């Protein structure tokens, strides 16, 4: 596979759903989701996004993760070649009623967003003790 084809597969461009007010590309961040008995953990790769530019919105069980990337061209610089395309990130999920929405935590470090979505008590498995008669 050619190098440009590999780069194209590395970032998938998001389909346009609505009109944007900010010009540029929008990418789907690669996401891994893990589950324990207590929480769901969502890890999203969003390289180039500063923590201050990450937005996590939750409304009516609809979770939206977005991040803005600033252009990499500095003052007085002229771009001669571009192989790494930049753009904003956007990903949407339906979380359902098993998540305790008031306790969600988000941490952005080194271009990776980590969301911890605690489960409601009623969604956690529990062991029922069996008694002898």
Whether residue 132 lies inside any domain: the answer is no
User: For the segment 94-125, what is each residue's pLDDT rounded down to a tens digit?
Assistant: 988 888 888 999 999 999 999 999 988 776 67
- Name the residue range of residue 31's domain: 3-12+24-73+83-123
Domain count, the chain: 1
Question: How many Å apart are CA 74 and CA 81, to the nearest integer?
Answer: 14
Burial track 65-75 (b if 16+ CB lie within 10 A, e otherwise):
bbbbbeeeeee
Whether residue 100 lies inside any domain: the answer is yes
User: For the segment 32-86, what is each residue's pLDDT rounded down to a tens digit?
Assistant: 999 998 999 999 999 889 999 999 998 888 999 999 887 777 788 888 887 777 7
Whether residue 130 lies inside any domain: the answer is no
Q: Dihedral (C-alpha) 3, 10, 73, 46: value to the nearest 10 degrees?
A: -160
pLDDT at position 124 is: 65
pLDDT at position 16 is: 57
Question: How many Å apart are CA 131 and CA 110, to the nearest integer?
Answer: 51
Whether residue 115 lies inside any domain: the answer is yes
Whether residue 69 lies inside any domain: the answer is yes
Higher pLDDT, 19 or 107: 107
Whether residue 78 lies inside any domain: the answer is no
CATH number, position 49: 2.60.40.790
Entry pTM: 0.73
Whether residue 31 lies inside any domain: the answer is yes
Residue 8 has pLDDT above 50, yes or no: no
Whether residue 55 lies inside any domain: the answer is yes
């Amino acid at each position: 596979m050619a190098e440009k084809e590999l780069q194209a597969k590395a970032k998938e461009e998001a389909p346009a759903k609505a009109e944007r007010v900010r010009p540029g590309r929008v990418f789907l961040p690669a996401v891994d989701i893990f589950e324990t008995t207590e929480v769901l953990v969502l890890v999203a790769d969003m390289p180039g996004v500063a923590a201050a530019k990450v937005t996590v919105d939750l409304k009516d069980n609809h979770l939206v993760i977005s991040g803005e990337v600033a252009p990499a061209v500095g003052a007085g610089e002229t771009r001669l070649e571009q192989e790494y395309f930049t753009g904003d990130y956007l990903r949407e999920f339906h979380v359902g009623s098993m998540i305790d929405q008031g306790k969600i935590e988000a941490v952005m470090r080194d271009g990776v967003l980590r969301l911890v979505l605690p489960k409601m008590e009623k969604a956690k498995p529990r062991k029922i003790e069996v008694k002898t008669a």
